[in-house]
Chain A
Amino acid sequence: MANVLKKIYIALIFIFLYAPMLVLIVLSFNKSKSRAKWGGFTFKWYTQLLSDSSIMEALVTTLLLAVLSALISTFIGTIAAIAITSLKKGTRTLMMGITNIPMLNAEIVTGISLMLLFIFFNVKFGFTTILLAHITFNIPYVILSVMPRIKQLNPSAYEAAMDLGASPFKAFFKVVFPDILPGVFSGLLMAFTMSIDDFIITHFTKGAGVDTLSTKIYSQVRKGIDPKMYALSSLIFVTVLVLLILINILPGSGKKAKEK
């Protein structure tokens, strides 16, 4: 009896979380442009998607931002995590405190604070300002997922490698790096996801003429969402779903997902 109740409870939450997904997928096949009416089944939003240059442009911008900000923040964040661990306790606590600011602060405050910075120093709003903002809010995620890995390292392994004649550089890449790699990888993935899903910080740091998918959707809210957006996000969702299923079916890859 209790087990049945548990299953019903999980199912209800599941429906709550996934009902909007279903709505969006259904709307992507809706012939009528209106969100509120079903006008029959169509594939046309999917076929017209590729030829819609403004949506494609926003998609490219979004992906480019996500890839660049994830790579750069993983690079800076991994080095920072290694360096911070070697600092004295006081400095370390200070650095970690600062690292926590973008994670705990409200996104709107992070967004406007960066906007004010760019206004104050007369930086032209555009792709670069969004990229700088995304790197900034991504670095903490990388640091926090690499840090636990570094703490688990056995310091003697690195010293042993050096004693055996490896250069510090070689010792790092042969001994330390393979051990922290899962943390680096999950940080990278996290950063990529956060960048793709971000709206608020992008909204405040973007200039006219540059749009990510999120800001494009927001600008369409008043006049009605272009159904091609439903088609595109359904495609993205299904792609991620398939990828996740594949990763989880493939043997031996189970360890990585646990790092989160």
Chain B
Amino acid sequence: MKNKFVKWLSLPYAFWSLAFIIIPLVMVFYFGLTDKTGKFTFANILSISLPVHFKSLLIALLLSFISTVICLLLSYPLAMILSSLNSKNNKLMILIFVLPMWMNFLLRTLAWQTLLENEGVINTILRTIHLPALKIINTPYAIVFGMIYNFLPFMVLPIYNVLCKIDKNLLNAARDLGANEVQTFLKVTLPLSVPGIISGITMVFVPALTTFVISDLLGGSKILLIGNVIEQEFTLNSNWHLGSGLSIVLMLFIIISMIITAIFDKDGEGSAL
């Protein structure tokens, strides 16, 4: 189908992505680098050094880092178990991970309030079996909990995908050559699954770093992440210039994680699709 006409068919999409992907990003830079009178300034970007903003960025980095690590630790064994099941079963298993997305994401996160509250379901259970109650609602722990809950499937699916693609003959060859289970895992399975791991890490880290909803719902609006600061500048204070400036700072971290993904995942093997 390599005729000229087909090539021209890419124009509508090229136009669409110019209008709704490229120009909007240019807008973020335009607003971020100007003040209310339209004069060029770095003030919006530099305001990240204000203690309030800097603290929110640090907390967001810390919490999203912790959530990403825990997601990885939970997901890897899970993906290994799922990939070892026979194929009829694992289609169902994947569905199980996608299905919760059909219940509204805000309501699902709010349900954790009911579960985690000081007089909530989990604490009631803990008290009945005479264990100490957890006091985690409205603390950073609850936010980490919500991040793990919401983004776990994004870590499981890419790792699962690469693990399924590993040639079983490689594992058998390693064993035939005298490697034990641990060596086979460390020398064969783990290195081959790196693209999936990296892809999973970005797919969890970026939304966790930039969230404002989870911190809003589970942090009792006392803990501000950088996402909350930006959201408030846009919706409450209508200070689009400051909000854009902080978004540029945020994008820096996103771009860094994209570059890392691109380096490790050249063939797009780890994509979740």
Interface digits, B50-72 against A, CB 8 Å rule (1 contact, 0 not)?
00000000000000000000000
Say whether A108 contacts B231, CB under 8 Å: yes
Inter-chain CA distance A136–B168, complex, in Å, is 40
A132 and B97: CB pair below 8 A?
A: no
Distance in Å: Cβ of A21 to nearest Cβ of chain B: 6
* Contact of A17 with B13 in the complex, beta carbons under 8 Å: no
Q: How many Å from the CB of A231 to the closest CB on chain B?
A: 11
Instruction: Kindly list chain A residues whose C-beta atoms are within 8 Å of the C-beta of B119.
Output: 36
Asked if B102 and A240 make an inter-chain contact with CB atoms under 8 angstroms apart, the answer reads yes
Of the candidate stretches B40-48, B128-136, B184-192, B205-213, the one touching chain A is B205-213
Q: How many positions in chain B have a CB within 8 Å of any CB in the partner chain?
A: 86
Residues on B with beta carbons closer than 8 Å to the beta carbon of A113: 24-25, 27-28
**B115-A19 in contact (CB<8A):** yes
B100 with A17: CB separation less than 8 A: yes
The reply on B7 being an interface residue by CB < 8 A is yes
Give a binary string over B5-20; 1 marks a CB under 8 Å from any A CB, 0 the rest: 1111111111011001
Determine if B104 and A248 form an interchain contact, defined as CB atoms under 8 angstroms apart: no
Q: Could you tell me the distance in whole angstroms from the C-beta of A223 to the nearest C-beta in chain B?
A: 13
Contact: A107 with B105, CB < 8 Å? Answer: no
Judged by a CB distance under 8 angstroms, whether A95 is at the interface is yes
Residues of B near A104 (CB, < 8 A) are 202, 206, 254, 258, 261
Q: Could you mark each residue 65-92 of chain B with 1 if its beta carbon is under 8 Å from any beta carbon of chain A, else 0?
A: 0000000001001100110000000011
Closest Cβ of chain A to B14, distance in Å, is 7
Chain A nearest Cβ from B155, distance in angstroms: 12
Residues facing B in A217-253 (CB within 8 A) are 217-218, 221, 225, 229-230, 233, 236-237, 240-241, 244, 248
**Cβ contact within 8 Å between A109 and B114:** no
Q: In the bound complex, how far is the Cα of B231 from the Cα of A229, in angstroms?
A: 25
Residue of B nearest to A85 (CB): B1
- State which residues 84-143 of A face B: CB under 8 Å: 84-87, 95, 98-99, 101-102, 104-110, 112-117, 119-120, 132-133, 135-136, 139, 141
Determine if B106 is an interface residue (Cβ-Cβ < 8 Å).
yes
- Closest chain A residue, CB of each to CB of B81: A6
Question: Chain B 215-226, CB within 8 Å of chain A: the 1/0 string?
Answer: 011000000000
User: Given the complex, which residues of B lie within 8 Å of A110, measured CB to CB?
Assistant: 24
Q: Which of chain B's residues 227-270 have a Cβ closer than 8 Å to chain A?
A: 227, 230-231, 234-235, 240, 243-244, 247, 250-251, 254, 258, 261
Question: Which residues of chain A are near B230, meaning CB under 8 Å?
Answer: 108, 112
Is A182 in contact with chain B by the CB < 8 A criterion? Answer: no
A145 contacts chain B at the CB level, 8 A cutoff:
yes
In the complex the two chains form, is B20's CB within 8 Å of A197's CB?
A: no
Interface pair A18/B77, CB less than 8 Å apart: no
Chain A residues in 8 Å Cβ range of B206: 104-106
Q: Is the C-beta of A155 less than 8 angstroms from some C-beta in chain B?
A: yes
B173 at the interface (CB under 8 A from A): no
Residues on A with beta carbons closer than 8 Å to the beta carbon of B81 = 6, 9-10
Can you name the residue of chain B whose Cβ is closest to the Cβ of A204?
A: B234
Residues of B within 8 A of A217 (CB): 104, 106-107, 110
Q: Mark A179-218, 1 if CB is under 8 A from B, else 0.
A: 0000000000010010011011001100000000110011
10 closest Cβ pairs, A-B complex: A80-B13, A83-B10, A20-B111, A113-B24, A106-B210, A83-B9, A116-B27, A23-B111, A136-B20, A117-B24
A-B contact pairs, 9 of them (CB 8 A): A19-B111, A79-B13, A83-B6, A86-B2, A98-B17, A106-B209, A141-B273, A204-B235, A236-B103
Residues on B lying within 8 angstroms of A by beta carbon are 1-3, 5-14, 16-17, 20-25, 27-28, 30-31, 74, 77-78, 81-82, 91-97, 99-115, 117, 119-121, 149, 152, 202, 206-207, 209-213, 216-217, 227, 230-231, 234-235, 240, 243-244, 247, 250-251, 254, 258, 261, 271, 273
Known: A13-B152, A104-B258, A139-B16. 16 other contacts (CB 8 A): A20-B108, A23-B115, A24-B111, A76-B13, A84-B10, A98-B21, A108-B231, A114-B20, A144-B271, A145-B273, A214-B105, A221-B110, A229-B104, A233-B104, A240-B99, A248-B95
